[in-house]
Amino acid sequence: MSFREPVVLVVLLMLPFLYWFVIRQGRVSPVMRWGSIATIPVRALTAGRWRLALVQGLMLAGWVLCVIGFAGPQVVHSYERRYSEGVDIMIALDVSGSMRSVDDPAAISKSRVRGYYHDAENSLTNRLQHARRLTADFLRKRKDDRLGMTVFAGYAVTKCPLTFDHELLQRILGDVDFSDVREQSTAIGMAMANALQRLVASKAQSRIIILVTDGANNAGTIDPGTAAEMAKALGVKVYTVGVGSDEPLLPTQKPDYYVRSQTVIDEKALLEIAEKTGGEYFRAADARMLEDIYGRIDALEKSLIERKYFFEREELYQPFLLAAMAAMLLSMVLRHCVFRIIPGEAV
């Protein structure tokens, strides 16, 4: 709470002097009706003290409330209106079986010695888990953009269309799993086409697709080159991210055991897609590199945001003045009508 005329509050410093000169010095000498002070009932004296204190306290409270009311108490409500020329972003995330691979350097090194790796503590994180976590971090940074998600393997599925409801998208992302697409192959062209379908009606200044995959196109009726031509025609940039090390660990049928495998990423196709659409191709050999890549994409695609701040003042003087009037009125009623016990007691 603030005050429109805070200088008025200086009057409160005068209240102790006002109390002394007006109330204490202005009291009338009591006229006793008893012949001897010894004959005054103790109850009359004690009753007079608290009643007098109540009357004076109410009057003093009324003065204080009145001064505060004249000072103009108010509450300032501020809010921000944001005008954003944001970016519409579709994330195309690979959920094929190869995303179960693990790219942990320490585990890979040990597997070279033993021929396998036993994850007894169940501490390894696969590519999809890393991609989900880092994608969630990326989404949290894009507060002013519409975001959506497509997942793909042998075909593509829209998990979430473009939306400003980022909390909903975060929940959907957290539930993304390999079971979302039953057909286990990699349809990169279909994934791009599905994402483009969600962007075609967008009127955003910038529209992009972030394609995250660890494989090569081997399924679907639309090849990546055709999908790239479609994106170029629509003015949609595609950032392609190839994830995974060259010799990752793949889970075996025996729980918690992994063996070395090989990653086959069609880097040439991903590079061509990016160059054709005006985007960039990145290679992420591990989770740290994928995090850096998301950071670079975030820096490359910035939203244009205009902020306007508004302030509203809510005046609060009326309750204080009403309370002051009520306190003073009650004080006078008690003084002249209710507590007339001993003459000279009242203020």
Please tell me the predicted confidence (pLDDT) of residue 268.
92
Shared domain check, 255 and 180: yes
CATH number of the domain to which 280 belongs: 3.40.50.410
Q: Structurally, how many domains does the chain consist of?
A: 2
Shared domain check, 143 and 264: yes
The one-letter amino acid at 289: M
* pTM metric for this prediction: 0.64
* Residue 180 and residue 245 in contact, taking contact as beta carbons nearer than 8 Å: no
**What is the domain range of residue 158?**
87-302
Shared domain check, 107 and 250: yes
Average pLDDT for consecutive 10-residue bins of the chain (347 residues)?
72 70 52 50 56 73 78 74 74 93 88 87 90 91 89 94 92 92 91 95 88 90 94 94 88 90 88 94 86 87 64 75 81 74 46
Shared domain check, 215 and 141: yes
Is position 308 within any domain? no
Please tell me the predicted confidence (pLDDT) of residue 347.
42
Shared domain check, 174 and 40: no
Shared domain check, 223 and 91: yes
Closest CA relative to residue 263, chosen from 91, 109, 94, 99: 99
Q: What is the CA radius of gyration of the chain?
A: 38
Closest CA relative to residue 99, chosen from 119, 139, 138, 129: 129
For 259, which DSSP code?
A: E
Provide the 3-class DSSP secondary structure of residue 7.
Answer: helix
Shared domain check, 247 and 159: yes
Q: How far apart (Å, rounded) are the C-alpha atoms in residues 342 and 28?
A: 12
Is position 258 within any domain? yes
Please tell me the predicted confidence (pLDDT) of residue 244.
85
Please tell me the predicted confidence (pLDDT) of residue 317.
72
Annotate 173-206 with DSSP letters as a single string.
HHH--GGG--S-S--HHHHHHHHHHHHTT---SE
Shared domain check, 334 and 291: no
Is position 346 within any domain? no
Please tell me the predicted confidence (pLDDT) of residue 21.
61
